[in-house]
Amino acid sequence: MMLQGKTWKFGADVDTDAIIPARYLNTSDPAELAKHCMEDADPAFPTKVQPGDIIIAGKNFGCGSSREHAPIAIKAAGVSCVIAKSFARIFYRNAFNIGLPIFESVEAAEAIQEGDEVAVDSAQGVIKNLTKNETYKATPVPEFMQQIIAAGGLIGYVSERLRGAKQA
């Protein structure tokens, strides 16, 4: 899968409260969550993010409370993927479970600036900064996790597997 978009850059230790503030957790509607995605970190983000845009961040992205709302809000806002130096463990699993591609790359997270145009080859783990004409390597995503993303998340993946088992 090839992903491409303009980047939004955030720092280290962006917690789930910054991704989707707790005051909006009275809903699980993705469209409503998207309206408030990253608003405490960057108030302009929810109104300016475009489909396909990419979040770049420092270490430990998604730390804090374990809430599935955080990756749901990011995906529903139209963000195609997140590239960070590292991810909090529970955010990492939640992102894949809901079908949000995420990539770990220290060099990409350091070199890419906000507003750069970036392309990501998810199968190869290659990140290209089209603005700077630079290429970075991301930690490869295991094949089965790529299948989960392609199915739109864990529920879609399991549904496809069950349909395949019934047809066999």
Q: Which CATH number do you get for residue 138?
A: 3.20.19.10
pLDDT at position 161: 82
Q: What average pLDDT does this structure show over 14-30?
A: 95
pLDDT at position 115: 98
pLDDT tens digits, residue range 63-119? 998 889 999 999 999 999 999 999 999 999 999 999 999 999 999 999 999 999 999
Q: For residue 98, what are its two tokens?
A: 């809901």
Taking the model in full, what pTM does it have?
A: 0.94
Angle at the Cα of 152 from the Cα atoms of 13 and 9, rounded to 5 degrees? 30
In this model, does residue 42 exceed pLDDT 70?
yes
Give percent above pLDDT 90 in the chain: 85
pLDDT at position 168: 64
Q: Please choose, from the candidates 75, 48, 56, 68, the residue with its C-alpha nearest in 3D space to the C-alpha of residue 14.
A: 56
Q: What count of Cα atoms within 13 Å lies in the side-chain half-sphere of residue 55?
A: 35
Give just the sign of the alpha carbon dihedral 26, 24, 153, 86.
Answer: negative
Which range marks the domain in which residue 104 is found?
2-166
Domain count, the chain: 1
